[in-house]
Amino acid sequence: DVKVTQSSRYLVKRTGEKVFLECVQDMDHENMFWYRQDPGLGLRLIYFSYDVKMKEKGDIPEGYSVSREKKERFSLILESASTNQTSMYLCASSLWWGGRNQPQHFGDGTRLSIL
Amino acid sequence: KNEVEQSPQNLTAQEGEFITINCSYSVGISALHWLQQHPGGGIVSLFMLSSGKKKHGRLIATINIQEKHSSLHITASHPRDSAVYICAVTGVIQGAQKLVFGQGTRLTINP
């Protein structure tokens, strides 16, 4: 069974801090994704990566960066946290097979509060 | 207008009822997904389909490509089915396959 592990379930940080959210998957998936989920707005893609050291902006990349130095790990970085980045953050991974992305497997989410 | 629209947004039913959640989309897709999210956050992929119908236990998903519409049905609903159900489509956006999500349907099954 695929396991996507996010480093924290709950995190509280202060405005201006640099925040790292870590995600690890154990199934050798090529694709990894970072989403944020807000009431009324649903899931929105921040960044995704389809290979080591490769990254693509999603729909709302402003204020975020990512790092993928190893295939199994995808990190989301808030360079200078702001209160509007308080949200639920979800990581996902998927396999590329048969010419298409296979279903995404999600982590349990990190509820991040910026004070 | 959202590219993926779900209805209803909220649904409350009694245990045992037959449940239908609808999803319409306006973009070209390669696949449609139904996801389930329980309170606490974790999301589970229920179905991925590109045509016809799939069944898993009490859950059935159908898709009509021509009408750009999909339905998720739950037979003999149970309180443990209470969750948010999310429809998502895989489309090619800016040259990459990405998921576009609906807003979700919050389902509550009362005993």
Q: What is the pLDDT of residue A113?
A: 97
Confidence of residue B92 (pLDDT cuts 50, 70, 90): low
pLDDT at B1 over 80: no
Distance from CA of B100 to the nearest CA of A (A): 8
| CA pair distance B59, B81, nearest whole angstrom | 10
Q: What is the pLDDT of residue B94?
A: 55
Is B103 within 8 Å of A109 when comparing Cβ atoms? no
A97 to chain B: which residues are within 8 Å by CB?
Answer: none
Residue A24: count of CB within 10 angstroms of its CB: 18
Determine the Cα angle at B104 with ends A76 and A51, to 5°: 30
Structure tokens at A100: 């298409």
Report whether pLDDT(A96) > 90: no
A56 touches chain B (CB under 8 A): yes
Q: What is the pLDDT of residues B35-78, one digit of tens each?
A: 999 887 789 999 999 899 999 999 999 999 999 999 999 999 99
Instruction: Give the per-residue pLDDT at A63.
Output: 96
Q: What average pLDDT does range A39-68 have in this prediction? A: 92
Question: How would you classify residue A72: left for phi > 0, otherwise alpha for psi between -120 and 50, otherwise beta?
Answer: alpha
Q: Are B75 and B18 in contact (CB under 8 A)?
A: yes
CB contact under 8 A, B41 and A100: no
Q: Is B29 helix (H, G, I), strand (E, B) or coil?
A: coil
Report the candidate in B27, B48, B43 with the shortest Cα–Cα distance to residue B100: B27
Distance from CA of B110 to the nearest CA of A (A): 23
Show residues of chain A in contact with B33, CB under 8 Å: 103-104
Residues 6+ apart with CB under 8 A from A4: A23, A24, A25, A91, A92, A93, A105, A106, A107
Determine the residue among A37, A54, A108 to mutate to test chain B binding: the one whose Cβ has the most chain B Cβ atoms within 10 Å.
Answer: A37
CA A7 to centroid of chain Cα atoms: 11
Question: Which residues from B are below 8 Å from A88, CB to CB?
Answer: 41
